[in-house]
Amino acid sequence: MTLLPVMLIAGAAFLGKSSPLIGHELNDAMFLQSSENTTEVIFFGFVGCKYICPNSLFRLGEVLDELRVEYPNEKFGGFFIDVNANTQIARAHEYGKHFSEEIVGKNVTMEELNALRAQFGLNIFDSGREADDLGHTDHFFVVEKHQGSWKIEKVLSNGISTEELKTAIESTILDN
């Protein structure tokens, strides 16, 4: 029964600005507490993913690196959150840095992951293809800090072009 609402949220996330997650305050995203930035782009995936995660992180890293050159004094970055809390290898930070120095990787506990599932409307499941292969929501979440609290500003499809991703992140950076 809970799968349907999650699928509706995930489906609506492709609509960008009209996602029901826009404006949602992120009280349980403890990893954001360590950020000194005002804008972060969050991508959920797992170390060892063969296709979607590395391609998405490569695109995100490329965009963040370009933006860092263009806006050296702005406070922004990215987070890669490993969703494989059961069997993950504690290498998320190293994995994120492989794509860009601007991406911080975080391993989370099952308890933290469950809280993040609720806050971000994540769908994470065993794909059934290989033992270490997970299916998961593969969106970019652009979040901003407002008066000390983080809110979701944009939910972007993984299929977004590099140019569109850059424009979406850049507009959020410039709004601060």
pLDDT tens-digit readout, 90-118: 788 898 999 999 999 998 888 888 888 88
Mean pLDDT of 77-86: 85
Q: Annotate the chain with DSSP letters as a single string.
A: --HHHHHHHHHHGGGGGG-TTTT-B-SS-GGGGG---SEEEEEEE-TT-SSHHHHHHHHHHHHHHHHHHH-TTS-EEEEEEE--TTT--S-HHHHHHHH-TTEEEEE--HHHHHHHHHHHT--EEE-SSSTT-EEE---EEEEEEETTEEEEEEEE-TT--HHHHHHHHHHHHHH-
For residues 83 and 134, is the Cβ–Cβ distance under 8 A?
yes
Mean pLDDT of 20-35: 85
Q: Ranked by mean pLDDT, which of 47-56, 84-93, 143-152 comes out on top?
A: 143-152
Mean pLDDT of 4-28: 59
- pLDDT, residue 165, reads 96
Q: Judge if pTM exceeds 0.75.
A: yes
The CATH number of residue 154's host domain is 3.40.30.10
Which range marks the domain in which residue 164 is found?
A: 3-175
Answer yes or no: is pLDDT of 78 > 50: yes
Domain count, the chain: 1
Which of the two residues, 39 and 6, has the higher pLDDT score? 39
Q: In angstroms, rounded to a whole number, what is the distance separating the alpha carbons of residues 141 and 72?
A: 22
- pLDDT, residue 8, reads 39
Mean pLDDT of 37-45: 93
